[in-house]
């Protein structure tokens, strides 16, 4: 068995205009000071990273790696969550999603989608230049507005939506294959790939492309009432990334999974800082170790109650406590009898 690496932290929720959160070198030192050994970088945040330069310049990538190494951390992966979301946008979300895009393509859905694809292609090359092997993203959504089966969906609607989603992603997956990098989709409500069934549908549509992989985040599964442990049993061969994020679901007579249009703090289901929710991380780390997952355990902090600095400070030791040094030998080796095939046959009464 292999040992999970960590602790690491996703920087997206911490980047800000004030120091130490407004440059990669400073925020890397801040992360290392909290005990993190790796950082996952949001590729859209120009305060921390220049995606276009990283795609074209090995020297720039050396500088980025060097700044992180000097701070005492490694780069775990790049993320294109926002750009990936724009690869497929149903028109009902056009105005809401425009804020994820560069200003010059806002209000222009076709240009915005083309820009998003180019961002993913840049991310493939940037990941290769940085020596990374996995990449985090969202798949986007064409069918999500029709999640609830009333009014009745027209026959073939879901099939057509996933066929188109796969058509858009197949050349991106090929580009990542050329770069030697896995594309790890975060299974997430608001995405067409939001559970195991939709993942299998997408995977079938892209011909089980070897670069189509998963970012495992148990919080989104818990909030949907999925069995997030069996999910690992089912899909461990495709899990290449791990977001360590907690959540709780406390339904009442007023609200449940759908949330009643309440703000995060008033929802029955909400994200929490590590250890404050309901996710069984001991079982998760055990299962991932059992299946030889040797990627990074990356904190993604999203909590509507606790301050982000406190969440970050508590997150590294929480992850460190859950890391399992994989067993190098069987616990009962002391009782091994040292028998051979002939002895085994005699024991079975067939020798």
Whole-model pTM: value is 0.94
For the chain, residues with pLDDT lower than 70 are 330-335
Structure tokens that stand for 61 in this block: 């990538």
3-state secondary structure of 134: strand
Structure tokens that stand for 153 in this block: 């969906």
Domains parsed from the chain with CATH numbers: 5-348 (3.20.20.150)
| The predicted structure's pLDDT at residue 79 | 98
| The predicted structure's pLDDT at residue 209 | 98
pLDDT digits (tens, 9 = 90+) for 15-56: 999 999 999 999 999 999 999 999 999 999 999 999 999 999
Q: How far is CA 227 from CA 69, 222, 280, 293, 336, in A?
A: 38, 7, 11, 19, 37
Cα(261)–Cα(306) distance, integer angstroms: 22
Cα(346)–Cα(351) distance, integer angstroms: 4
| The predicted structure's pLDDT at residue 331 | 63
| The predicted structure's pLDDT at residue 326 | 79
Cα(351)–Cα(342) distance, integer angstroms: 7
159: CB partners within 8 A, 6+ apart: none
DSSP state for residue 338 in the 8-state scheme: -
Q: How far is CA 104 from CA 101, 153, 247, 268, 313, in A?
A: 8, 35, 37, 39, 38
| The predicted structure's pLDDT at residue 155 | 97
CA 324 to chain centre: 20
pLDDT digits (tens, 9 = 90+) for 144-186: 999 999 999 999 999 999 999 999 999 999 999 999 999 999 9
Cα(12)–Cα(95) distance, integer angstroms: 22
3-state secondary structure of 17: coil
């Amino acid at each position: 068995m292999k040992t999970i690496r960590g602790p690491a932290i996703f920087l997206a929720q911490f980047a800000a205009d004030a120091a130490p959160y407004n440059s990669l070198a400073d925020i890397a030192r801040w992360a290392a000071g909290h005990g993190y050994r790796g950082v996952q970088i949001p590729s859209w945040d120009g305060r921390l990273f220049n995606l276009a330069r990283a795609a074209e310049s090995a020297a720039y990538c050396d500088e980025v790696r060097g700044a992180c190494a000097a701070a005492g951390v490694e780069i775990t992966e790049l993320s294109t969550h926002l750009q990936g979301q724009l690869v497929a946008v149903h028109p009902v979300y056009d105005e809401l999603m425009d804020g994820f895009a560069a200003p010059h393509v806002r209000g222009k859905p076709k240009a915005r989608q083309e820009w998003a694809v180019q961002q993913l292609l840049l991310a493939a090359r940037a990941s290769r230049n940085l020596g990374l092997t996995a990449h985090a993203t969202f798949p986007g959504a064409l069918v999500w507005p029709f999640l609830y089966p009333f009014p009745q969906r027209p026959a073939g609607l879901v099939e057509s939506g996933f066929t188109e989603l796969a058509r858009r992603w197949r050349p991106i997956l090929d580009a990542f294959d050329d770069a030697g990098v896995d594309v790890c989709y975060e299974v997430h409500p608001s995405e067409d790939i939001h559970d195991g069934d939709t993942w299998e549908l997408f995977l079938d549509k892209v011909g089980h492309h070897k670069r189509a992989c998963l970012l495992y985040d148990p919080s989104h599964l818990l909030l949907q009432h999925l069995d997030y442990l069996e999910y690992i049993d089912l899909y461990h061969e495709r899990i290449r990334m791990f977001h360590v994020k907690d959540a709780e679901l406390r339904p009442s007579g007023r609200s449940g999974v759908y949330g009643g249009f309440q703000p995060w703090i008033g929802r029955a289901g909400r994200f929490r800082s590590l250890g404050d929710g309901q996710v069984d991380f001991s079982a998760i780390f055990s299962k991932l170790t059992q299946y030889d997952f040797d990627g990074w355990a990356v904190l993604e902090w999203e909590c509507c109650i606790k301050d982000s600095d406190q969440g970050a400070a508590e997150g590294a030791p929480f992850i460190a406590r859950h890391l399992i040094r994989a067993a190098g030998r069987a616990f009962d080796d002391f009782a091994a009898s040292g028998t051979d095939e002939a002895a085994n046959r005699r024991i079975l009464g067939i020798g």
